[in-house]
Chain A
Amino acid sequence: MELVQQFAWIFHIILIILAVMLILCLIRAIIGPRIADRLMAINMISTMVMVIIAILAVVMNEGYLIDICLIYAMISFLAVVVLTKIYTGVYLEARDRRSELKNSEREAVKTDAAESGKGGPDHGIH
């Protein structure tokens, strides 16, 4: 453990490299053309943050930071599960509504045609 404190600069360099990679992940999340891209980038960010917290726990010699890391892992997994469920549900609902609208339009066209077919001769008689 004394060696870790003695050569703390190695860990500081590793932390800086991880922070730069975190920013690159954020860029991926911003330019990602699809929703799945963004979710995946957030997943990567959470993994790197977990490594950063674990390194800090060892370098600062604070054992309780590891508990935070464990909770972070669980919360990021929960976030991915909930967000995918929400996006799938929203998309399916919108698709159902769209197909329903199309069906009702088709029905309306059919009934219009039928009424005009029936109504034409009636008007002629009156």
Chain B
Amino acid sequence: MGFIEWVRFIVGVGLLIAGLLIFVVELYGVFKFKYVLNRMHTAAMGDTMGLGISLLGLIVLCGLNFTSLKMGLIIVFLWLASPVSSHLIARLEVTINEELEAYCELPEERAAKETTDAEEKCIKEVEKEGVGC
């Protein structure tokens, strides 16, 4: 085994360990942040960068053959799929959380809509009480 083999091995293992470090940072962030929409940020980092660098290291170790081609396909697929799933989870959270204002600032439209909703509710309650009296 020549010099090139050693260089390839060291570069591959180094990239793999870099990917592992990114997974560690991801896990630390997931336990550090307080709300889902903050935690999602670090989770997406692990999905794209951690897995990308780890599989890049494995591609370097493996050399050029069909296995490494499939690994590249996995990286490309996760680049496409991870933002979509993050978006879906965030939309689920925004839809089902009824006191979202307690956690984050809302854009103008939604805040305005919620205030009008609250006003309508108030008016209806007044009407109801009037009928009740």
Query: What per-residue 1/0 map shows which CB atoms of A50-73 lie under 8 Å from chain B?
Result: 110011011000010011011001
Residues of B within 8 A of A (CB): 1, 5-6, 9, 13, 16-17, 19-20, 23-24, 26-27, 30-31, 36, 39-40, 43, 46-47, 50-51, 54-55, 58, 61-63, 65-67, 70-71, 73-74, 77-78, 81-82, 84-85, 88-93, 95-97, 124, 128, 131-132
Q: How far, in whole Å, are A51 and B61 apart by their CA atoms in the complex?
A: 14
- Beyond A51-B54, A88-B91, 6 additional pairs, beta carbon < 8 A: A14-B16, A40-B36, A47-B78, A66-B74, A77-B84, A113-B132
Which residue on chain A has the smallest CB distance to residue B90?
A: A36
Q: A80: which B residues are within 8 A, CB to CB?
A: 85, 88-89
Contact A47 B132 (CB under 8 A): no
> Does A125 sit at the interface, judged by CB under 8 A?
no
- Given known contacts A47-B46, A55-B58, A70-B73, is B27 in contact with A34 (CB within 8 Å)? no
- Given known contacts A2-B1, A109-B128, A110-B131, is B92 in contact with A35 (CB within 8 Å)? yes
Residues of A within 8 A of B (CB): 1-4, 7, 10, 14, 17-18, 21, 24-25, 28, 32, 34-37, 39-41, 43-44, 47-48, 50-51, 54-55, 57-58, 63, 66-67, 69-70, 73-74, 77, 80-81, 84-85, 87-88, 91-92, 106, 109-110, 113
Which residue on chain B has the smallest CB distance to residue A57?
A: B67
Q: A36: which B residues are within 8 A, CB to CB?
A: 36, 40, 89-90, 92-93
Q: B131: which A residues are within 8 A, CB to CB?
A: 109-110, 113
Q: B92: which A residues are within 8 A, CB to CB?
A: 35-36, 39, 84, 87-88
Contact B67 A63 (CB under 8 A): yes
Q: A21: which B residues are within 8 A, CB to CB?
A: 23-24, 27
- Given known contacts A3-B9, A63-B66, is B27 in contact with A47 (CB within 8 Å)? no
Contact A3 B1 (CB under 8 A): yes
- Given known contacts A37-B36, A54-B55, is B47 in contact with A43 (CB within 8 Å)? yes
Q: B65: which A residues are within 8 A, CB to CB?
A: 63
Q: What distance in Å separates the Cβ of A109 from its nearest Cβ neighbour in chain B?
A: 6
Contact A28 B95 (CB under 8 A): no
A-B pairs with the 9 shortest C-beta distances? Answer: A36-B93, A80-B85, A77-B81, A84-B88, A36-B36, A3-B9, A66-B70, A63-B67, A84-B92
Q: How far, in whole Å, are A25 and B6 apart by their CA atoms in the complex?
A: 34
